[in-house]
Amino acid sequence: MNSISKIVDEAVAAFSTLPGIGKKSALRMVLHLAQQDKKKLEDLYSAVKNISDRLIRCKQCHAYSDSEICAICSDPVRNKQTICVIESIRDLFAIEELKQFRGVYHVLGGLISPIDGMGPENLTIHSLFKRIEMQPITELILAIRPTIEGDTTSYYITRHLNNPSIKISMLARGVSFGSELEYADELTLSRSLLNRTPYIISE
Amino acid sequence: MNSISKIVDEAVAAFSTLPGIGKKSALRMVLHLAQQDKKKLEDLYSAVKNISDRLIRCKQCHAYSDSEICAICSDPVRNKQTICVIESIRDLFAIEELKQFRGVYHVLGGLISPIDGMGPENLTIHSLFKRIEMQPITELILAIRPTIEGDTTSYYITRHLNNPSIKISMLARGVSFGSELEYADELTLSRSLLNRTPYIISE
């Protein structure tokens, strides 16, 4: 293809590095942007510049934050005694979306995975233990995905937590809502049967 | 949803204005960017800044350009006597992708559409006529979409072009490759039948 503009080419290259964006979508974005007024373009590049220059990690929970302590950790309404331990900040957004959880978070930044060279020292697990030493915590919710790495991480945290007064819970596991039993994997189905719960009639 | 970071929120808002990007994809992009190194973020915001500050229109064909005359118009290899008239720069990229056309372009910037208040004076039609007066043009390819607005625009250009020596052509119309006849619209099918072409055995 004859390059018509280096500026367009470079912009397409930059936008195609975004997740889920191929060359065609990137070109579509760039041509769209080229038609926008300066104000909109300014919003976009100052957004990117702010991510680069001003976005930091919360010292307490390690989520993205505009200040040393994030908006959730410093919110007086949130229950600081319940910590929801999650793998990544994406999980935080997914849980916040539910508008249900009123505690605080701790972002591990990954899961223990010896194959990938990820040990507890690469995660924020020790910062979690320190946090528990410093503050009165009553419950730790391990909202970690049900995989080998997830289970290893949950196990590690549980084993190394020297505080029997803290209640440790994990997300319920079983068949998903709306799923068809015949397509559920064996492990999920067999565990759902083993861990069956009493039937409750909701009125 | 509890806002965790104003920077993240603003970035999500800016990215959701991109075509085809909803709030979820925008958040995914922002969280992805937050994990990138400064160099990548710099590439992205200088790309946006360049679109805003440095990208201009070619004085001749009105495509996006880094300089007064675009790379295609100033390419010595391209045939300046054949002008392909198109509605938008997107069409230019679609045709360039074919690596087949070796002439130059003229971007109209829209189509004549009285309902939308778009007249010939809102487009670059007069600049096209001036271009034809100044340079020896042999063919004008009207690569304009087959709609009422497109046909009106093609008709206007053809009627107002005071130069009988210029050959005017348009894109072939008919059933698309791979399409099923029973699903083709009536107008397309009926015209394909009327304008049938001789069957040629390619060996």
Q: Quick: pLDDT tens for A135-172.
A: 999 999 999 988 899 999 999 999 998 888 999 998 88
**Surface-to-core class of residue A175, CB atoms within 10 Å of its CB (0-12 exposed, 13-18 middle, 19+ buried):** middle
Q: How far apart are CA A134 and CA A131, in angstroms?
A: 5
Q: 3-state class of B52 per DSSP?
A: helix
Domain with B146 in it: what CATH number? 3.40.1360.10
pLDDT over 90 at A105, yes or no: yes
Q: 3-state class of B11 per DSSP?
A: helix
Q: Are residues B38 and B89 in the same domain?
A: no
Of A10, A14, A55, which has the smallest distance from its Cβ to B34's Cβ?
A55
b (16+ CB within 10 A) / e for A113-142: beeeebebeebbbebbbebbeeeebeebbb
User: In this structure, is residue B68 part of a structural domain?
Assistant: no
Q: Are residues B30 and B93 in the same domain?
A: no
CB atoms within 10 A of CB B131: 19
- B135 DSSP β-pair partners: none
What number is the average pLDDT over the span A11-19? 94
With beta carbons under 8 A apart, name residues in chain B contacting A37.
none
CB atoms within 10 A of CB B43: 17
pLDDT band for position B203 (cuts 50, 70, 90): low
With beta carbons under 8 A apart, name residues in chain A contacting B66.
5-7
The reported pLDDT for the residue numbered A53 is 93
Q: How far apart are CA A92 and CA A108, in angstroms?
A: 11
Domain with A40 in it: what CATH number? 1.10.8.420
Sheet bearing A82-86, strands edge to edge = A104-107, A82-86, A139-142, A167-170
Q: How far apart are CA A44 and CA A32, in angstroms?
A: 13
Q: How far apart are CA A127 and CA A57, in angstroms?
A: 13
Residues 6+ apart with CB under 8 A from B65: A4, A5, B55, B56, B57, B58, B71
Q: Are residues A87 and A37 in the same domain?
A: no
Q: How far apart are CA A160 and CA A108, in angstroms?
A: 15
Enumerate residues 62 to 81 of chain B having a beta carbon within 8 A of any beta carbon in chain A. Answer: 63-66, 70-72, 75
Q: Are B51 and A11 a contacting pair at CB < 8 A? A: yes
Residue A182, token pair as written in the block: 């015949």
Mean pLDDT of chain B: 90
Q: Are residues B113 and B185 in the same domain?
A: yes
Residues 6+ apart with CB under 8 A from A138: A81, A82, A165, A166, A167
Q: How far is A195 from chain B, CA to nearest CA, in Å? A: 33
Estimate the crossing angle of helix B6-15 against helix A38-53, to 10 degrees.
Answer: 140
The reported pLDDT for the residue numbered A3 is 75
User: In this structure, is residue B65 part of a structural domain?
Assistant: no
Closest residue in A to B12 (Cα–Cα): A47
**Percentage of residues in chain B with pLDDT exceeding 90?**
71
Q: Are A2 and B97 a contacting pair at CB < 8 A? A: no
Q: Are residues A172 and A117 in the same domain?
A: yes
Q: Are residues A33 and A133 in the same domain?
A: no
The reported pLDDT for the residue numbered A75 is 94
Q: Are residues B101 and B193 in the same domain?
A: yes
Q: Are residues A87 and A41 in the same domain?
A: no
Q: How far is A76 from chain B, CA to nearest CA, in Å? A: 13
The reported pLDDT for the residue numbered B1 is 44
Give the mutation candidate from B3, B8, B104 for the A interface (greatest A CB count, under 10 A).
Answer: B8
The reported pLDDT for the residue numbered B18 is 94
User: In this structure, is residue B166 part of a structural domain?
Assistant: yes
Q: Are residues A88 and A160 in the same domain?
A: yes
- What is the extent of the structural domain holding A139? 76-198
User: In this structure, is residue A61 part of a structural domain?
Assistant: no
Q: Are residues B17 and B103 in the same domain?
A: no
The reported pLDDT for the residue numbered B194 is 81
Q: Are residues A17 and A87 in the same domain?
A: no
User: In this structure, is residue A68 part of a structural domain?
Assistant: no
The reported pLDDT for the residue numbered B153 is 95
Q: How many domains does chain A have?
A: 2
User: In this structure, is residue A124 part of a structural domain?
Assistant: yes
Residue range B106-138, pLDDT digits in tens: 999 999 999 999 999 999 999 999 999 999 999
Q: How far apart are CA A140 and CA A162, in angstroms?
A: 13
pLDDT band for position A1 (cuts 50, 70, 90): very low
Give the mutation candidate from B7, B15, B29 for the A interface (greatest A CB count, under 10 A).
Answer: B7
User: In this structure, is residue B92 part of a structural domain?
Assistant: yes
Q: Are residues A119 and A35 in the same domain?
A: no
Closest CA to A152 of A108, A187, A90: A108
pTM comes to 0.79
Residues 6+ apart with CB under 8 A from B111: B87, B118, B123, B144, B145, B147, B149, B150, B152, B153
pLDDT band for position B202 (cuts 50, 70, 90): low
Interface ipTM: 0.80
User: In this structure, is residue A137 part of a structural domain?
Assistant: yes
Enumerate residues 35 to 54 of chain B having a beta carbon within 8 A of any beta carbon in chain A. Answer: 38, 40-45, 47-52, 54
Of B10, B21, B38, which has the smallest distance from its Cβ to A52's Cβ?
B38
Enumerate residues 88 to 127 of chain A having a beta carbon within 8 A of any beta carbon in chain B. Answer: 89-90, 92-93, 96-97, 99
**Surface-to-core class of residue B31, CB atoms within 10 Å of its CB (0-12 exposed, 13-18 middle, 19+ buried):** buried
Residue range B34-71, pLDDT digits in tens: 999 899 999 999 999 999 999 999 999 999 999 999 99
Q: How far is A180 from chain B, CA to nearest CA, in Å? A: 26
The reported pLDDT for the residue numbered A195 is 81
Pairing of strands A139-142, A104-107: unpaired
Mean pLDDT of chain A: 90
Q: How far apart are CA B181 and CA B188, in angstroms?
A: 10
